[in-house]
Amino acid sequence: MEYKNLRLEKDGNIAVITLNRPEVRNALNPPMWEEIHYAIRDCDLDKDVRVVIITGAGGIAFASGADIRILKDFDTREVLEFEVLIQGSLNEVENLDKPVIAAIDGFALGGGCELALACDIRIATNRSKLGFPEVNLGLIPGAGGTQRLQRLVGIGKAKELIFTSDVISAQEAKELGMLNKVVEKTEDLLPAAKAMAEKIIAKGPMAVSLAKAAINMGANTDLNSGLLIEKFASTIAFSTEDRYEGTTAFIEKRKPIFKGK
């Protein structure tokens, strides 16, 4: 696919998706959401890709939210179609069987923050700001924000952030559990994300994929059901060639050579 609103670049086992509408602070319009969908599918099908990083171009915003100029004139049918597109794209990000890291520099607002929350790990620069301004416009977060935010920060804090539209600093977001790591400078961001990716790539890919599935599915159910999911995932992991290689390498005191089988 020819991408017009983002860049998809691959370097070894890492794919970097860069939202590329800096002239509008990477505002998310329908074509960009469609391209995110196709880029994630591309990364899913490419067996060499082991970790995906999503970031934003321009140095001002990861993504500033939905493109309000387009939303203003949507009718109900168009809004529903847009919501289906957005939620579908974010579900693909969340359920991709490879880890996805959000590398945030600047504003991650509304749909941009929802995109970040759908990723597995979030790293941001110290100057970054996160928030959900939708109620200022008579709207609510409609791309998973009301659901994913509460699972990270708790129901009470999620209600506060959404009801007030407060935009919070990267440090506060980290304290709340919205961010995994904060780096000081813009030039530190992608190296930090790639260092995290390389650390993950060194592990068993089947094990990482199964762990992600168990965590995601277990988060949406009760403890006993989650433990059952974990048991099944662990049994599958135990039956892989990677498990044999990992345990053998440990005994032989060498680095394992995982093949994702």
pLDDT over 90 percentage in the chain: 67
Fold annotation for 205-252: Lyase 2-enoyl-coa Hydratase; Chain  A, domain 2 (1.10.12)
Q: What pTM was computed for the model?
A: 0.91
Burial class (CB in 10 A: 0-12, 13-18, 19+), 127: middle
Q: Per residue in 88-143, pLDDT tens?
A: 899 999 999 999 999 999 999 999 999 999 999 999 999 999 999 999 988 888 88
Lookup: tokens for 9: 């670049």
One of 81, 83, 134, 172 is an active-site residue; which one? Answer: 134
Q: Per residue in 138-171, pLDDT tens?
A: 888 888 899 999 999 999 999 999 999 999 999 9
Active site residue 114: yes
pLDDT average, residue stretch 203-221 = 91
Greater model confidence, 128 or 82: 128
| Helix and strand totals (H; E) in the chain | 11, 10
One of 114, 172, 175, 252 is an active-site residue; which one? Answer: 114
The domain defined by 6-201 carries CATH number 3.40.50.1970: no
Give residue limits of the domains in the chain: 6-201, 205-252
